[in-house]
Every structure is written in structure tokens, then in C-alpha cells.
Amino acid sequence: MSAPVILWFRNDLRLADHPALQAALATGAPVLPLYVQDTQDRWALGAASRWWLHHSLAALTADLRARGADLLLRRGAAAEILPALAAEVGADIVFTGAPTEPAERARDRAVAEALQADGRALRRVRTTLLFPPETLRNRSGKPFAVYTPFAKACLAQPDPPPPSPAPKAIPHARRPAGDTLESWNLLPHQPDWAGGMRATWTPGEAGATARLAAFAGARAARYGSDRDRPDRDGTSMLSPHLHFGEVSPAQVWHATGRGQPVFIRELLWREFCHHLLWHHPTMPDAPLRAAFAAMPWRDDPAGLRAWQRGRTGIPLVDAGMRQLWEIGWMHNRVRMLVGSFLVKHLLLPWQEGERWFWDTLVDADLGNNAGGWQWIAGCGADAAPYFRVFNPVLQGRKFDPDGAYVRRWVPELARLDTRFIHAPWDAPASVLAEAGITLGRSYPHPIVDLMAGRDRALAAFATLPKG
């Protein structure tokens, strides 16, 4: 029997349309599937992502076993595990994806060097993006810094190849001893905390396939009109499946097609964020626009805590933050709104919001998370103008006109007259009483006056160096 090859899974936990798996199978050698939990990273997975990873790995294990293979789990430094495992099983080649995250790229270099020292090789294959982030350039030969020309450059490329099906069988190499998934303790110690996530999501390739099938077609056709309405089921909710690679972006592209340009632009925004991360590895920590390093942020632990727990007294903000806590996900329009409220109305650093989202989102993606927060704060590439401050009352009246989204996630306001659902402080005492609401007791007073917070933010931004 020929020497085995190792397939090192990363954020590509699927079997269909998996170029690294296809490359491993093309060798004709037995394949040893492997997942390494390497915790030597400042951006180690947050709590919600660990919950997702547990169930996604369980699903991948079952899918592999159905094809005659099995998943080996090892925990520790990948640069130590991969060379030792290759020597143990006699593998000369390790196939893997090509992540864009700075720590993952550094890990790849260390693994490649360690394997090469033993006469072995690491083969990296793109598994999570449509386009190589290192190759797309603007007309000046530089990385893109603005989304629209980046998207045009992507759309000028040929369509990605049609997705390949999952293999029916995988010739499996001898599997040495490994960890059990339960020993990694990825699940929360308080099981009730994950109840909303369990009711909402099905991690794994089958769940991703079902989610894509449910969205493609009529819902995708309505995406342009429904995507900004948090009170409607108008978005794909594919983001965690894409982040963990349970579905490939090519599968999404072909299921929706160029005929859905608004949705395709969202898929390309994900590509843009990873393009930025590739070329600006400090993006998760430092503003891309250097002048913003001098921003006079406030220190307000109580305000930050109120925002995190959905107790700001601003209904649409609180609804979004409670949705996040309950199901590990938040509607995109509301993400922009709660981000703007934190950074501008409360004048708190965007990195605080980034860290909270990292811990609580099931789709916590380093490129998207950092890119989104920098866009909101006005300090990133192609960023929203710093003077754009979302008014949560006006946003609520426009995108949640009947208050259905607020009523669902802020049940103490459920009986409030629609005229006041987004600004309960404007309601007459009799209307509040009829709805069973006592401001300051059953629902908090606003922690900041919206107009005063806006003025304070604009004054702070005006202090930054020009240019």
C-alpha cells in the first residue's frame, strides 16, 4: 500500500467542493483526515464559536465515517503535531486549506518549515474564498482599498467552477490514537445558555446545504427588498456555515447566481474583508486610517455592560443585542445600528464591540468582524463617513415599522402602542401604564440622550488630524 497523505481540515469542514480533499484523493493514496485545535492564538475561538465547532466536528466525523474514513483530533501546536504525525504514519504530504488570518498564515509557515526539515511537504489549496486575496490588484498594481472597484474586479473574473460533489468513498489510512471531542470541553458549562442556538441552527454540512436550499430561489429573489427588514425572514443566515466552511462560497454563488446581484455583492464583501486582512494583518487591532489612533474614546464600563446585555433603553439596540445573546447571530442592518450606537452615541472603542461580537457570534470571522467594525467606526477601508450617525429611532420606524422585531426580543415592550415602540420615553404616562411599562423599572431609561450623544461624537471626531 502507498504511503498515506494527511488532510488537515481548518475552516473548511465539509466534503463537497473541497479542493484540498480532491487534491488528496487525486494522489490515489489513503487519506488521514485531521483537525488540530491549536489554541496558541490571541484570537482563539469565542464561546459561541466553540459551541458551533463542537457540533460541526461531530457532523464531519459522521460524514467521514459514512464514507469509510474517520477524523483524527489532536490538540496542541500544529507545528509540532503535524511533523510528528506525518512521521508516525509515514505520510510525505499534508494537504490543507489556505486561511487568510495572520496567526493561521504564521502557523502554516511554521508547519511547512518543520515538515520540510524532515523531507515532507505542506500543500495549501484555497478552500474558503472565491478569489486569491494576494492576486487581486487595482489599476496601480496595489491591493484594493475601496469595495466597489474590488467587487467590479471580482465580477470581471470568470465564474468559479461548478461545485464538485462529495466523494462517495474515501480510502482511509490507519488512524492513530487521538483526542475525543468531548475532552476538548467546547460546549458551555451552562447548557441553558445555548438553548436558543440549538433551536436556531444545525451546524454541519447537511445543515448548511439545507439552509442554502431554503434561501435560493424565491427568498433570494426578494433579498434586495427584504434584507434590511429585521422583522422579516429576508436574509440567508449562511454566515456561520460559510465561516466554518460547511458550504463553499462557490456553492453559494452557483445556487444564487449573478441574477441576484445584491446578494452576490454581500458575498463579495466577505471576500473584500479577507482581502484587507491579507494585506493589513493588524486590522483586527489597529485602525486602517492612522489618524483614528488619536480618537478620544471614553471609558464607561457601565455603559458597555448595558450595551452588551441589551439594557440601553433604546429598543432597537436592545432587541439586536438580545437576539445576539439568545441565538449567537444578529440581523445585518441591526449590526450596523448597534455598532454605531456603541462607537458614536456612547463613544466607546470599536475594539470593545469587536471583542464582544467575537465571543458571542456563531459567525465570528476575523476578517468580517474587523472589517465591519472599522467600517462602522469610520476608520477602515471604504468606511462609512465618520459623521454618519445612525438614529436608532428613525431606523426602527423605517425598517421595523410595526415593531415586530422589538416586540419579539424586548418582550417587556410587547404591548406598547406602535407609535411609541421605538421611543417609549415619548409615550404619555397613560399609554405606558396601559402597556404595563414603568420606565426605569420594567424597562430602563435611555443611558444616553441620542442628540447629545451624536453631538459629542461629532465633536470628538473633529479633533482628529486631517487628511
- 466 found inside a domain: no
- 173 found inside a domain: no
Grid coordinates of 128? 474558503
Q: How many angstroms separate the CA atoms of 314 and 423, rounded? A: 7
Q: Is 244 found in the same domain as 154?
A: yes
Q: Is 12 found in the same domain as 117?
A: yes
pLDDT at residue 2, as a whole number: 83
pLDDT at residue 383, as a whole number: 61
To the nearest 10 degrees (0 to 180), the angle between helices 47-65 and 350-360 is: 40
Locate cell 475561538: which residue? 45
Active site residue 332: yes
- 217 found inside a domain: yes
Nearest to 111 by CA among 74, 144, 139: 74
Active site residue 350: yes
Q: Is 145 found in the same domain as 121?
A: no
Q: What are the tens digits of pLDDT across the range 432-463?
A: 999 999 999 999 999 999 999 999 999 999 99
Q: How many angstroms separate the CA atoms of 65 and 462, rounded? A: 60
Query: What is the number of structural domains in the chain?
Result: 3
Q: Is 82 found in the same domain as 43?
A: yes
| Tens-level pLDDT at each residue, the chain (467 residues) | 589 999 999 999 999 999 999 999 999 999 999 999 987 777 889 999 999 999 999 999 999 999 999 999 999 999 999 999 999 999 999 999 999 999 999 999 999 999 999 999 999 999 999 999 988 999 999 999 999 999 999 999 999 999 999 999 999 998 999 999 999 999 998 767 889 999 999 999 999 999 999 999 888 889 999 999 999 999 999 999 999 999 999 999 999 977 789 999 999 999 999 999 999 999 999 999 999 999 999 999 999 999 999 999 999 999 999 999 999 999 999 999 999 999 999 999 999 999 999 999 999 999 999 999 999 999 988 766 777 899 999 999 999 999 999 999 999 999 999 999 999 999 999 999 999 999 999 999 999 999 999 999 999 999 998 76
Active site residue 246: no
- Which residue in the list 43, 184, 193, 297 is annotated as catalytic? 297
Domain boundary among 246, 279, 312: 279
Q: Is 450 found in the same domain as 311?
A: yes
Q: Are 264 and 258 in contact (CB under 8 A)?
A: yes
- 106 found inside a domain: yes
pLDDT at residue 259, as a whole number: 76
Nearest to 358 by CA among 35, 41, 13, 37: 41
Q: Residue 77 maps to which CATH number?
A: 3.40.50.620
Q: Residue 147 maps to which CATH number?
A: 1.25.40.80
Domain boundary among 74, 101, 127: 127
Active site residue 373: yes
Nearest to 367 by CA among 38, 101, 45: 101
- 261 found inside a domain: yes
- Which residue in the list 51, 201, 253, 269 is annotated as catalytic? 269
Q: How many angstroms separate the CA atoms of 145 and 139, rounded? A: 12
Locate cell 446585555: which residue? 309
pLDDT at residue 39, as a whole number: 79
Q: Are 6 and 94 in contact (CB under 8 A)?
A: yes
User: What residues make up the domain containing 256?
Assistant: 129-162+204-279
Q: How many angstroms separate the CA atoms of 226 and 262, rounded? A: 11
Q: How many angstroms separate the CA atoms of 351 and 271, rounded? A: 21
Q: How many angstroms separate the CA atoms of 403 and 207, rounded? A: 30
Give the DSSP letter of residue 294.
Answer: G
- 190 found inside a domain: no
Q: Is 319 found in the same domain as 405?
A: yes
What residue type is 289 in one-letter code? Answer: R
Active site residue 43: no
- Which residue in the list 253, 325, 329, 350 is annotated as catalytic? 350
Active site residue 266: yes
- Which residue in the list 266, 352, 354, 412 is annotated as catalytic? 266
Q: Which residues pair with 180 in a beta bridge?
A: none
Locate cell 415599522: which residue? 401
Domain boundary among 254, 279, 304: 279
Q: How many angstroms separate the CA atoms of 101 and 366, rounded? A: 7
Question: What stretches of 54-133 adopt beta strand conformation (E)?
Answer: 72-75, 93-96, 121-124
Nearest to 465 by CA among 300, 287, 299: 287
pLDDT at residue 200, as a whole number: 97
Grid coordinates of 407? 416586540
pLDDT at residue 260, as a whole number: 87
pLDDT at residue 388, as a whole number: 82
- 59 found inside a domain: yes
Q: Is 41 found in the same domain as 31?
A: yes
- Which residue in the list 253, 373, 375, 409 is annotated as catalytic? 373
Helix (H) or strand (E) holding 197: helix 195-200
Q: Is 306 found in the same domain as 262?
A: no
pLDDT at residue 12, as a whole number: 98
Q: Which backbone phi and psi does 247 adopt, to 5 degrees?
A: -140, 145
Angle in degrees, CA 332, 334, 336, rounded to 5:
75
Q: Residue 411 maps to which CATH number?
A: 1.10.579.10
Question: What stretches of 196-297 adopt beta strand conformation (E)?
Answer: none
Q: How many angstroms separate the CA atoms of 417 and 369, rounded? A: 36
pTM (predicted TM-score): 0.96
Angle in degrees, CA 252, 276, 340, rounded to 5:
85
Q: Is 268 found in the same domain as 134?
A: yes
- 171 found inside a domain: no
Q: Is 372 found in the same domain as 238?
A: no
Q: Is 142 found in the same domain as 82?
A: no
Residues 6+ apart with CB under 8 A from 316: 334, 337, 392, 393, 395, 396, 400, 405, 406, 422
Q: Is 68 found in the same domain as 19?
A: yes
The string of DSSP codes covering 377-405 is HT-STTPPPTT----HHHHHHHHSTT-HH
Q: Which residues pair with 8 in a beta bridge?
A: 34, 96
